Amino acid sequence: MNGFPFTYETEVRFRDLDAMRHVNNATFVTYLESARLGWWLDVTRRDGLEALDLILARTEIDYRAPAFFGEAVRVGVRCVSVRRSSFALEMRVEEGASGRLLAEARKVCVYYDFKAQRSQPIPAPIRALLVAQNPGLAKE
């Protein structure tokens, strides 16, 4: 997806729909979650649940069009800013076959120590990987 270094794709499951017969608004947030975690494992070159040392501080999502049964969903992810222990993502959700825009989102994620139950500074090697993916982040 143009402008997004990572994309995640999934099918619309029947269970993703709600009684209005379109994909439920909270299910979009589940798609964003899978995309965000997939992006994180990809950019940090790690895998497994233990590597998901992130929590979510904020989500903004603008719903642009409904998605339906039989469709697929593609989510683009890009990191747009990095701070000491957090970073921001922009995400675009399109229908898989047509590219129809479904939603746009922005997330703030916190690098988190689940044992200590608090945020922690992003280690230099991970910061370097984020910058390697988006050189514009180095200026911050």
User: What is the contact surface with a second copy in residues (CB under 8 A)?
Assistant: 10-11, 13-15, 17-21, 24-27, 29-30, 33-34, 37, 47-49, 52, 55-63, 66, 69-70, 114
Query: Least distance from C-beta 86 to a second copy, angstroms?
Result: 12
The minimum distance between CB 122 and a second copy, in angstroms, equals 19
SS3 label, residue 50? helix
Q: Residue 21 Cβ, how far from a second copy at the closest point, in Å?
A: 5
Burial class (CB in 10 A: 0-12, 13-18, 19+), 98: exposed
End-to-end CA distance of the chain: 25
Q: How far apart are CA 41 and CA 82, in angstroms?
A: 17
CB of 137 to a second copy, least distance (A): 23
Alpha helices in the chain (DSSP H): 25-44, 124-133
**Choice between 50 and 125, CB closer to a second copy:** 50
Nearer to a second copy by Cβ, of 84 and 118: the residue is 118
CB nearer to a second copy: give 31 or 82.
Answer: 31
Q: Which is nearer to a second copy, 72 or 131 (CB)?
A: 72
Pick from 96, 55, 88: nearest CA to 72: 96
